[in-house]
Amino acid sequence: MRSKQELEDAIRAEGRAVLVVNAKSRRGRRLFGSARRLLTEAGLTFERIFPVTDPDRLTEIFTEVLALEPDLVVVGGGDGTVAAAVSHLTHRDIALGVLPLGTTNNFSRSLELPQDLRGAVSVLRDGKVADVDVGWFTGTDPGSDPPSDAGGDPPSDPGSGPGGATNGGEPDGRHIFANMVSLGLSVEVARNVPHGLKRVVGRAAYGLTAVRLLPRHEAFTATVRIGGETQEVLTHQLNVANGAHHSGQRIARDASPDDRLLAVYRLGDERRLRLASATARHVLTGQWRSLDEDAFLTTDEVHIATDPPLPVDVDGEIRGQTPVTVKLLGNALRVIVPQSFVDT
């Protein structure tokens, strides 16, 4: 594994680069031509360009990408596309560059990337290589018997076993993730948000869908175990965040994908109106809140069980069900970030 500076030098010396753009993302198809023009103007050249029209082929495409042994993989798309890239690039001597072309772009916001295309390209040209954290999630496949403990060992290198960086979701329910694991109302929103509405109104589509679904949503009890301590919480929404943003909004001013922490927090309690008010408070005050507040539990590993078992949203995709274990993989992913990003 090269040092960050050595990898950065290799990229700047016209190292091998690959571009993957999800043309199904909110802005991917419309901005694909503009992205290629801006990248060319910035002096960035690519050995291969993969325009993705079928997101189901992402695993196949990233397998082709890795076979090229690139120094840099630039991914244009939303959080789902970035999550697919992260699952393949974790623990590899390859830098990930991001063009935020999705609806919420949570992970790119956490990397402090400009959300406009020109600004994001400028970071690819002038930024630096940093190492950031990712998460590792293991749960239960729907329809299978729950294990006695949903834990296990996270991958420490590519191909080290289920959930490793060589592929994305594994059939036994283990996954690398970039930004967040959540359960509750957001799972139903992810299942039901109309794609056409997302294209028209962007992030507001999630809020509108949540308002429609909330009156019928049932609160649940989650048992949260961190180390030797266990808490029971009654809520409509529970999140475990590696990144700093949720629904396009900052979680806390000191949250970062480079802080060696997972942030566990619920939104409201069993009352539906409390969920609405907690979500509004999250949107309005997240940039001023701190992870030191009682609303957050911070850890590098958490186990969550619910009764009954609930489906789990992993970076915007439904991936198995509770019980789940979430672990932090510190400094496991190499990314291109602005020079101002604090890399620890």
Lookup result for tokens 């589509």: 205
The tokens of 124 are what?
Answer: 């690819």
Could you list the beta-strand ranges (E) of 27-173: 48-52, 72-77, 95-100, 128-140
State the pairing for strand pair 317-337/311-314: antiparallel
Domains of the chain: 4-133 (3.40.50.10330), 135-331 (2.60.200.40)
CA–CA dist 133, 207 (Å, integer): 28
Please check whether residue 175 is in contact with residue 141, taking contact to mean a CB–CB distance below 8 angstroms: no
Quote the pTM value: 0.85
CA–CA dist 21, 49 (Å, integer): 8
Neighbours of 273 (CB within 10 A): 9
CA–CA dist 68, 64 (Å, integer): 7
CA–CA dist 8, 59 (Å, integer): 26
One pLDDT digit (tens) per residue for the chain, 344 residues: 999 999 999 999 988 999 999 887 667 677 888 999 999 999 999 999 999 888 889 999 999 999 999 999 999 998 889 999 999 999 999 999 999 998 789 999 999 999 999 999 999 999 999 999 999 999 877 554 444 444 556 766 544 433 344 344 443 446 899 999 999 877 777 776 667 766 666 656 656 666 665 666 688 999 999 999 999 998 888 999 999 998 788 989 999 999 999 999 987 665 655 666 666 566 556 677 899 998 899 999 999 999 889 999 988 888 889 999 999 999 999 999 999 999 98
CA–CA dist 333, 168 (Å, integer): 15
Query: What one-letter code names the amino acid at 202?
Result: G
Q: Is the peptide bond before 70 cis (omega within 30 degrees of 0)?
A: no
Q: What is the DSSP letter of 74?
A: E
pLDDT at res. 172: 44
- CB burial readout 57-67, b (16+ within 10 A) else e: ebeebbeebbe
- State which H helix or E strand residue 297 sits in: strand 297-299
The rounded Cα 165 to chain-centroid distance in angstroms is 15
